[in-house]
Amino acid sequence: MKRIPVVMLAAAGAVSTFAFADTVYYYVPPTVTYVEPAPTVTYIEPAPTVTYVEPAPIATQPSIIVTAPRDADEDYLINSGVADTIASDPSIRGHVETQAYRNTVTLGGRVTTPGMVDRVERGAKSVDGVRDVENFVRPVVGGS
């Protein structure tokens, strides 16, 4: 018998709670738990930037051509040619000096006849490279 009054008391207490309460709250434990994952942050290191700078063009200069002074070499050849031409002519007798400067030949000295003066000048003009001849050769009249 003791049991009945306890059960009755529990039932009466349950009924009386609804009668006195305006709002009834029930706690229902959740059955599904959702955990939002933390956002994934992935760091991708940027590729190294390679900047190619084309080298400046190398300044090229025209090749250097070294020549001796034109007048010295050419005048030497002209002077040698005139002296050889006059010396190899058997009809010219006397003493003749030659000098060449910038393709102009200067003749000086003495020969035995006036005709030899013209032959000396013609011999000098026949050499390649001679532009002009200054003839200061004088005949020695009467010979020596």
Domains of the chain plus CATH, in order, are: 70-139 (3.30.1340.30)
Question: Exposed/middle/buried for 13, CB within 10 Å: 0-12, 13-18, 19+?
Answer: exposed
Q: Are 95 and 109 in contact (CB under 8 A)?
A: yes
What number of residues does the chain have? 144
Which tokens go with 120? Answer: 């000396």
Pick from 105, 119, 130: which is nearest to 97 by CA?
105
pLDDT over threshold 60, residue 4 = no
Q: How confident is the model at residue 135 (pLDDT cuts 50, 70, 90)?
A: very high
Q: Between the ranges 11-15, 48-52, 71-75, 92-96, where is the mean pLDDT highest? A: 92-96
Q: How confident is the model at residue 83 (pLDDT cuts 50, 70, 90)?
A: very high
Q: Are 134 and 104 in contact (CB under 8 A)?
A: yes
Helix, strand, or coil here: 14?
Answer: helix
Question: Exposed/middle/buried for 107, CB within 10 Å: 0-12, 13-18, 19+?
Answer: buried
List, for residues 119-128, the tens digit of each pLDDT value.
999 999 999 9
pTM of the model: 0.49
List, for residues 25-39, the tens digit of each pLDDT value.
777 676 777 778 788
